[in-house]
Structure 1
Amino acid sequence: MGDTVNDRQILRVGVVGAGHISGAYLGTFLRLENLRVTAIADMDPARAAAAAKEVPGARALTPDELYAAEDVDLVLNLTIPAAHAEVAHAAISAGKHVYGEKPLAATAAEARALLEAADRAGVRVGCAPDTVLGTGVQTARTVLDSGEIGTPVSATAFMLSPGHEGWHPAPEFYYQRGGGPLLDMGPYYLTALVTLLGPVRRVVGMSATPRATRIIGSGPRAGTEFPVEVATHVTGVLEHEGGALSTLIMSFDAWAGLVPRTHIEVHGTGGSLSLPDPNGFDGEVQLFRAEAKEWEPVPERGGYPGASRGFGVADLARALADGGPHRADGQLAYHVLDVMESLLAAAGSGESVTVASTCERPAAVPAGARPEEQ
């Protein structure tokens, strides 16, 4: 850890990757008292310089300079998925903690090697999504943990979209190795399902790639055609260690729908639970009790209020200060990646696949908590 201000230890963060998502993290860090961004790096020096100008006290560096910087305790890895493992290993080799955008690496094998390297170096690994730390999923978790819907039996989770090329000016990486709807959006849904129902032990699935090419729909390259290298529609059934079965649908091939296109529901022996979009931090949770025969809103019962992207980094900083575990940790992210990879393998083979990894359910976030104060 770095400096101490008002008896609070400050984690000094160096950001690698100043692309689209970096603005969300940097905006969050400005209001979290246990984090301070000291350096920003990007393959495009001008982009790093522009981002650094928006953050008081931050300076633009090359990636190698950032890894070596003495005033960087943690490297925030916001590069494209194909570069996640390379950047993380460079940071770990320099003795830095790492927190990355999802997925943790392009493959489960790369993710496992990354965690092993971090363990040898004595540094921590965290990974998005941290949306599960917000009031939406955490409120739902309190309902499940209190037994209000009985024993969980099943869940449904789906994300239906026509794809990112309609709005993103450079969408190719979403359709290359490490991309696709499952690896891109699946972590939000699977991390929520594991947080709610525990780790997954077995999967079955099917997948499709109905279009071999896509066309960029906006920006200076609008009209450019590019190849699709991954499955763009994936559906599967997940068997959790506790016995619940989750049905997952992730698609870049759905133009519209009359039902919510981003949703999770959990059904138990005594009722059902409806969650907001797991790509967000808050939103209304609704409960259907068998005896009440109607849906009712659930007041906020848990989670970091007002959370946004980057709260997982602050939670890691809190854990470093008090010596406890952090919630959006590398083992959870590795398990989620392993589940996704196993699901794609099951889709390819037509057989069920046993998930080799497991993880602990992260600790619940108490109602009204702040990561700086726990």
Structure 2
Amino acid sequence: GIQTVRKLVDDGYIGDIVAANCAMICHGHETWHPDPEFYYKRAGGPMMDMGPYYVTALVQLIGEAKGVIGMTKKTFSERIITSEPHYGEKIDVDIDTHLTGSIAFANGAVAQICTTFDVHYAPGAQCRFELYGTKGTICVPDPNTFGGPVLVYRPEDQVSGQAIDPGLMAHNAPQYYTGYKEVPLLFDYNENSRALGLSDMCKALRTGRDFRANYQQQHHVLEILTSFEKSSREGRYIPLKTHYTRTAPMQNNPMHGILDD
């Protein structure tokens, strides 16, 4: 799904990227995870847990980031586990569990991101990822998965109606996507392909080409992830020291199991 979005972006389908808005909203993992304590200790939290999926997708789609500003908080000082085998045990929360902020990109785009373990939210709606361009908008699929849907909205898709302030219109949840068109996935491996990056690295080592999930990407993403809490703690904008050049998009080889020629 993300590779399909990248092709649409690279082909200029929504013009120049203006901004992005993404969120991972849930009330923590102690209701289902068999051993959830580490999520609330140093190096845990929603940004370090789920942020890698979202921020990696952002830099893949937009490119190098240059700075971060964030505001973070800890809402609950302790959590009670309701999953087995630690049902009823308490967890002391040592880290911030609601992190929000903005990322400034080198090309001028700005992304807002929120990750939280503090909010009650319907499970099927906990991911929101939208990419805004000068010629349209793309609803990006959950970067924690490999499929879709990929939804695109351009000016010509606008549904005709009474010319009034959109904020005064009555809305039901499905109407937010009225006029969006679903784009078929253009690449293979839309199942739970957790080892795809490793397979790509192995193919790269065998053929001598660069691999996609390289250290430069991980270093850049990690600095972004850790800068939200630092920005909030220090009360300032954090310029990034790392640099990033987007790696090559995936190829669409017609033979399943063969990443490229």
Contact map agreement 2:100 2:115 (CA 8 A) in 1:
yes
Who is 2:42 aligned against?
Answer: 177
AA in 1 matched with 2:116: S
Rounded to whole Å, the distance in 1 between the matches of 2:259 and 2:16 is 33
Preserved CA contact (<8 Å) 1:142 1:302:
no
Call closer, same or farther: CA 1:290–1:239 in 2, change over 3 Å.
same
Match of 1:334 in 2: 219
Counterpart selection for 1:310 from 191, 195, 218: 195
* C-alpha spacing 1:184/1:297, structure 2 compared with 1 (3 Å): same
Deviations 1:65-110 (A, max 9, x none): xxxxxxxxxxxxxxxxxxxxxxxxxxxxxxxxxxxxxxxxxxxxxx
Q: Does the aligned pair in 1 maintain the 2:21–2:129 contact within 8 Å? A: yes
1:360 paired to 2:225: no
Q: CA deviation at 1:259?
A: 8.7
Structure 2 counterpart of 1:310, which letter? Answer: A
Aligned counterpart in structure 1 of residue 58 of structure 2, from 176, 179, 193: 193
What TM-score do you get using the length of structure 1 for normalisation?
A: 0.61
Matched, 1:203 2:68: yes
The residue that corresponds to 2:78 in the other structure is 213
How many percent of aligned residue pairs carry the same amino acid?
A: 37
Q: Which amino acid aligns with 2:97?
A: T
**1:65-104, aligned counterparts within 5 Å?**
none
Larger RCO (CA within 8 A; separation ≥ 6): 2
Q: Report if the CA contact (8 A) 2:200-2:259 is conserved.
A: no
- Deviation of the 1:165 alpha carbon: 0.6
SS of 1:263's equivalent in the other structure is strand
What's the Cα RMSD here? 1.7
Q: State which of 112, 115, 126 in structure 2 corresponds to 1:247.
A: 112
Counting only pairs closer than 5 Å after superposition, residues 125-274 of structure 1 correspond to structure 2 as 136-256=1-121, 260-274=125-139
Distance (whole Å) between structure 2 residues aligned to residue 373 and residue 145 of structure 1: 20
CA deviations over 1:147-174 (Å, ceiling 9, x no partner): 1111110101100010011111211111
Q: CA deviation at 1:257?
A: 5.0
Which one-letter code corresponds to 1:207 in the other structure? T
Alignment counterpart, residue 230 of structure 2, candidates 345, 350, 357: 345
Alpha-carbon offset, residue 218 of structure 1:
1.1
CA displacement 1:283-341 (0-9 Å, x = unmatched): 11011011222210112223544451111111001001110111111211111110111
TM-score (norm 2): 0.87
CA separation in 2, counterparts of 1:173 and 1:258? 22
How many matched pairs?
239
CA distance in 2 between counterparts of 1:303 and 1:263 reads 23
Aligned residue for 2:22, secondary structure, equals strand
Which runs of structure 1 show a deviation greater than 3 angstroms over 4 or more consecutive aligned residues? 302-307, 368-373
- The runs of 5 or more residues in structure 1 that have no matched partner are 1-135
Q: Write the letter of the residue equivalent to 2:221.
A: V
